[in-house]
Amino acid sequence: MENNKELIEILSERATEYLKTSIELTKLKVLDKSADIISSFGPRILVMVLLFSLMFFVNLGIAFWLGSILGETYYGLFIVAAFYGLLVIILHLFLHKWLKSILSNLFIKHILK
């Protein structure tokens, strides 16, 4: 009888250790995936910031050039703003679901990698 109690205690201790180890392993796996996702997005964010800076200055140049042709600087700024407003409306109406699915699939692919 006492032998069974010892076996149950040993089994209980091992089950507890197994559970603690499993929890720790899960934490480490989540940490690894999070670090992988964050580290892969870091360089992309830097490239995006540089690309947006380039586009900003190119658009300012186009706006000032159009403004000098039309006689007033703000005309060029309004034309460039109207162009981007129209582009945003088109993207939202026609490509919103498509872009959402692409970004969702990219994120899921990184998580399951």
Is there a contact between 37 and 110 (Cβ–Cβ < 8 Å)?
yes
Q: State the pLDDT at residue 100.
A: 80
pLDDT band per the 50, 70, 90 thresholds, residue 51? very high
Residue 38's CB: how many other CB atoms inside 10 A?
A: 9
pLDDT, greater one: 4 or 21 = 21
Q: Say how far apart CA 31 and CA 33 lie, in whole Å.
A: 6
Cα dist from 11 to 1, 2, 43, whole Å: 15, 14, 49
pLDDT above 90 (res 106): no
pLDDT above 70 (res 33): yes
Q: Locate tokens 């995936």: which residue?
A: 33
- What DSSP character marks residue 71? S
pLDDT band per the 50, 70, 90 thresholds, residue 107? confident
pLDDT above 70 (res 63): yes
